[in-house]
Amino acid sequence: MHYKTLCLLAVLGLATAPAQPQTSVLIGLITKTDTNPFFVKMKEGAKAEARKLDARLLVAAGTQDGDTASQIAAIQRMALAGVKTILIASNGDAVIPAIKKVQASGVQVIALDSPIDGADALFATDNYQAGVLIGQYAKVALGATPARIATLDLFPGHPVGAQRHNGFMRGFGLPAPDAVSLELGTDKAVVCQADSFGDAAKGQAAMENCLKKHPDINVVYTINEPAAAGAHTALVTAGKAQGVLVVSVDGGCSGVADVAQGHIAATSQQYPLRMAAKGVSAGVEYARTGRRTTGYVDTGVNLITRTAVAGIESKDVAAGTQLCWGKK
């Protein structure tokens, strides 16, 4: 290039020195699975907030509820990639040592949906209260009829599964452990307990087995709406769909549609999009200011019903559809 041309470029600020690329904040999101609609929505919320705040998002998930090995591997990969914050919906306590290790290297860890010991913060529904709401509803809706309850739970030892189950028991007026316990409450009114792993097919199989042993079941509590959908299929096959009250937790758009159709009587609606968006925002703040987020942030819960009952505050299907999982 001619000497005079180089001088002119330098004056104009266009000299040939390479431009320094701007680096955006790198945040990791690890969900329990990548197929459950709840976590699909959580990922959508995280991606939208990351675009809004000029952050980059790495995503990973377990293969199913309870798969901690995949989550541990994802934590390690993300730390090596240079994330400043990891958002995780944990599959279990086995991830705790990996979390502590990356925290020691300066990574902020925020739990989403499921509490995990050692996380800097938790953004989640009050899962115990979510259970209380559907328990209260079921108690009033059933009336004076003696309860014959089936519970389709998550799997043993998970805090979300325990909190929802025990909240339901407490709301129904049955003895139940408090919100910090990982033990599932029992009572003679609960005639069948089974693990569904939050899955429709496993929920259907669990409900079929419960009905074989106790064909007079009249209330079904489910950990989430996929499990409720499986339970409904089993009830239809058994010719009992009209005589059994099904209640659940999540409040996803498809779950609210099931409430509208009468497949689920009531569900407690939570807001995973909100959890994820708040988590990404906290991650960006930490990367740019060094301020960690700490403590518990309640992201809200509402009872959604097809038919309201006296004395129990709820929102109708129209409101549930408008709000489902945090969409604006």
Residue 129 DSSP code: H
Among 7-21, 229-243, 309-323, which stretch is predicted with the lowest mean pLDDT?
7-21
Beta bridge partners, 153, equal 195
Instruction: Give percent of the chain with pLDDT exceeding 70.
Output: 92
Domain membership of residue 153 (yes or no) is yes
Q: Name the maximum alpha-carbon separation found in the chain.
A: 96
pLDDT digits (tens, 9 = 90+) for 276-317: 999 999 999 999 999 999 999 999 999 999 999 999 999 999
Query: Residues 228, 282: one domain?
Result: no
Q: How far apart are CA 137 and CA 139, in angstroms?
A: 5
Q: Helix, strand or coil for residue 197?
A: coil
Q: How far apart are CA 65 and CA 319, in angstroms?
A: 30
pLDDT band at 325 (very low <50, low <70, confident <90, very high): confident
Beta bridge partners, 86, equal 28, 109
pLDDT band at 35 (very low <50, low <70, confident <90, very high): confident
Domain count, the chain: 2
Q: What value does the mean pLDDT take over residues 70-80?
A: 98
The CA distances from residue 232 to 238, 254, 270, 281, in Å, are: 10, 14, 21, 38
Q: How far apart are CA 204 and CA 232, in angstroms?
A: 8
Query: Residues 206, 71: one domain?
Result: no
Query: Residues 259, 283: one domain?
Result: no
Task: Check which CATH number belongs to the domain holding 64 and give it.
Answer: 3.40.50.2300
Query: Residues 149, 237: one domain?
Result: yes
pLDDT band at 37 (very low <50, low <70, confident <90, very high): confident
Residue scoring higher pLDDT (41 or 163): 163
This prediction's pTM: 0.83
What is residue 83's predicted lDDT score, i.e. its pLDDT?
Answer: 97
What is residue 23's predicted lDDT score, i.e. its pLDDT?
Answer: 57
Amino acid residing at 165:
H
Q: How far apart are CA 120 and CA 117, in angstroms?
A: 9
What's the chain's average pLDDT? 92
DSSP string of 269-321, one letter each residue:
E--HHHHHHHHHHHHHHHHHH-PPP-EEEE---EEEESS--TT---B-HHHHH
Q: What value does the mean pLDDT take over residues 20-38?
A: 82
Answer yes or no: is pLDDT of 39 > 70. Answer: yes
- Residue appearing with tokens 């320094």: 20
- β-pairing, 266-269 with 302-305? antiparallel
Answer yes or no: is pLDDT of 120 > 60. Answer: yes
- Residue (of 95, 105, 40, 32) closest to 69 by Cα position: 95
Q: What value does the mean pLDDT take over residues 83-112?
A: 97
Q: How many CB atoms lie within 10 A of CB 21?
A: 6
pLDDT digits (tens, 9 = 90+) for 136-187: 999 999 999 999 999 999 999 999 999 999 999 999 999 999 999 999 999 9
Answer yes or no: is pLDDT of 19 > 60. Answer: no
Answer yes or no: is pLDDT of 12 > 70. Answer: no
Query: Residues 113, 226: one domain?
Result: no
Q: What value does the mean pLDDT take over residues 195-209?
A: 97
Query: Residues 160, 264: one domain?
Result: yes
What is residue 327's predicted lDDT score, i.e. its pLDDT?
Answer: 62
Query: Residues 36, 172: one domain?
Result: no
Q: How far apart are CA 211 and CA 13, in angstroms?
A: 78
Answer yes or no: is pLDDT of 7 > 80. Answer: no
Domain limits for position 59: 25-125+272-293
Query: Residues 207, 226: one domain?
Result: yes
Query: Residues 56, 99: one domain?
Result: yes
- Residue (of 265, 288, 275) closest to 25 by Cα position: 288
- Residue (of 77, 112, 118) closest to 91 by Cα position: 112
Domain membership of residue 159 (yes or no) is yes
Query: Residues 244, 286: one domain?
Result: no
Q: Helix, strand or coil for residue 135?
A: helix
pLDDT digits (tens, 9 = 90+) for 231-268: 999 999 999 999 899 999 999 999 999 999 999 999 99
